[in-house]
């Protein structure tokens, strides 16, 4: 499976990632991607960007090196009510938000029932379109309840490639269970690299192995093509056309 859009990419703005937007766009182009989503960490993550980073995303060209640049965040729930570390007016300016648990962001891991409740509450924010690495064993979830809630809310469950390569050891079992449940109930899935350096952009080989082995069909993958992504995020494709006089 080749994806045309990778929505989970970190830049130097995350504080612990290594590539610039220009480097990421160049690499994405060479790999045949049509879009990348910048999903730098929300400000609650130690070393994460200031809130100004997210309002300044408007200065970025919509297309760089022929690759569409989507403005996003990997936001953190900061309390049991599912409030996020980015205020709603800032979220509203973005193309999408991923929500996922991370250590050190003020909310400790709890029981599967409570963790699930937080994620379901966070999905009430209209910009939240993807649950990031929900198979992370450090923050166990009630798989069935979470997948059904995501399906009902039209939110995609991420199968995160880094979880099988160099992060969140022990993710495989829960990721497989999430993918199997998504296949069973017809929830949407997002395949992501979680790249922290340009050379990882668009790399979802392991994620697709896990998802397809669990029965996920290509039609369930929201970032499979630019067109499926436009529909999923309700983007205005005209905004991403290169015009004379626009940045390139
Ligand atoms: Zn993450
Ligand atoms: Zn990430």
Q: How far is the CA of 179 from the centre of ligand 1 (A)?
A: 18
Per-residue pLDDT tens digits for 173-206: 999 999 999 999 999 999 999 999 999 999 999 9
Distance CA 125, CA 132 (A): 15
Q: How far is the CA of 14 from the centre of ligand 2 (A)?
A: 9
Q: Which residues contact 187 (CB under 8 A, 6 or more apart)?
A: 147, 148, 150, 151, 156, 157, 181, 220
Distance CA 68, CA 186 (A): 28
Q: How far is the CA of 100 from the centre of ligand 2 (A)?
A: 9
Nearest ligand to the C-alpha atom of residue 133? 1
pLDDT for position 246:
56
Nearest ligand to the C-alpha atom of residue 195? 2
Q: How far is the CA of 185 from the centre of ligand 2 (A)?
A: 26
Report how far apart, in Å, the C-alpha atoms of 101 and of each of 24, 29, 91, 106 are: 25, 30, 17, 10
Closest alpha carbon to 117 in 141, 86, 87, 144: 141
Give the mean pLDDT of 128-147.
98
CA angle in degrees (0–180, nearest 5) for 17-157-223: 70
Nearest ligand to the C-alpha atom of residue 10? 2
Q: How far is the CA of 246 from the centre of ligand 1 (A)?
A: 33
Q: What is the pTM of this model?
A: 0.96
Q: Which residues contact 39 (CB under 8 A, 6 or more apart)?
A: 7, 8, 9, 10, 72, 73, 74, 98, 132
Beta strands 96-99 and 128-131, pairing class = parallel
Distance CA 212, CA 26 (A): 29
Q: How far is the CA of 240 from the centre of ligand 2 (A)?
A: 24
Q: How far is the CA of 41 from the centre of ligand 1 (A)?
A: 7
Q: How far is the CA of 227 from the centre of ligand 1 (A)?
A: 26
Nearest ligand to the C-alpha atom of residue 73? 2
Q: How far is the CA of 245 from the centre of ligand 1 (A)?
A: 36
Q: How far is the CA of 245 from the centre of ligand 2 (A)?
A: 33
Q: How many CA atoms lie less than 13 Å away from 201 in the CB half-sphere?
A: 35
Per-residue pLDDT tens digits for 64-111: 999 999 999 999 999 999 999 999 999 999 999 999 999 999 999 999
Distance CA 61, CA 37 (A): 13
User: DSSP letter at 60?
Assistant: S
pLDDT > 70: percent of the chain: 97
Nearest ligand to the C-alpha atom of residue 139? 1
Q: What is the set of domains in the chain, with CATH numbers? A: 5-238 (3.20.20.140)
User: DSSP letter at 183?
Assistant: H
pLDDT for position 245:
53
pLDDT band of residue 145 (cuts 50, 70, 90) is very high
CB 224 within 8 A of CB 1: yes
Nearest ligand to the C-alpha atom of residue 72? 2
Tell me how far apart the terminal alpha carbons of the chain are, to the nearest angstrom: 29
Q: How far is the CA of 192 from the centre of ligand 2 (A)?
A: 9
pLDDT > 90: percent of the chain: 96
pLDDT above 70 for 247: no
Q: How far is the CA of 74 from the centre of ligand 1 (A)?
A: 7
Per-residue pLDDT tens digits for 166-178: 999 999 999 999 9
Distance CA 215, CA 177 (A): 10
Nearest ligand to the C-alpha atom of residue 168? 1
């Amino acid at each position: 499976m080749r994806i045309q859009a990778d929505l989970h990419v970190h830049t130097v703005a995350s504080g612990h990632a290594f590539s610039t937007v220009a480097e990421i766009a160049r690499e994405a182009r060479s790999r045949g991607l049509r879009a990348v989503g910048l999903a730098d960490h929300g400000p609650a993550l130690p070393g994460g960007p200031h809130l100004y980073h997210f309002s300044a995303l408007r200065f970025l060209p919509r297309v760089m090196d022929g690759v569409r640049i989507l403005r996003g965040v990997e936001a953190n729930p900061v309390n049991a009510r599912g409030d996020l570390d980015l205020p709603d007016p800032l979220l509203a300016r973005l193309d999408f938000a991923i929500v996922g648990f991370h250590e050190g962001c003020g909310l400790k891991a709890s029981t599967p029932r409570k963790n699930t409740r937080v994620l379901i509450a966070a999905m009430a924010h209209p910009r939240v379109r993807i649950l990031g690495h929900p198979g992370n064993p450090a923050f166990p979830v009630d798989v069935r309840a979470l997948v059904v809630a995501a399906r009902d809310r039209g939110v995609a469950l991420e199968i995160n490639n880094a979880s099988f390569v160099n992060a969140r050891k022990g993710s495989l079992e829960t990721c497989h269970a999430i993918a199997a449940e998504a296949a069973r109930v017809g929830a949407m899935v997002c395949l992501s690299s979680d790249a922290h350096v340009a050379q990882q952009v668009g790399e979802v080989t392991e994620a697709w192995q896990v998802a397809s082995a669990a029965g996920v069909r290509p039609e369930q993958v929201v970032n499979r093509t630019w067109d499926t992504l436009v529909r999923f995020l309700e983007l205005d494709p005209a905004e991403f056309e290169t015009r004379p006089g626009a940045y390139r």
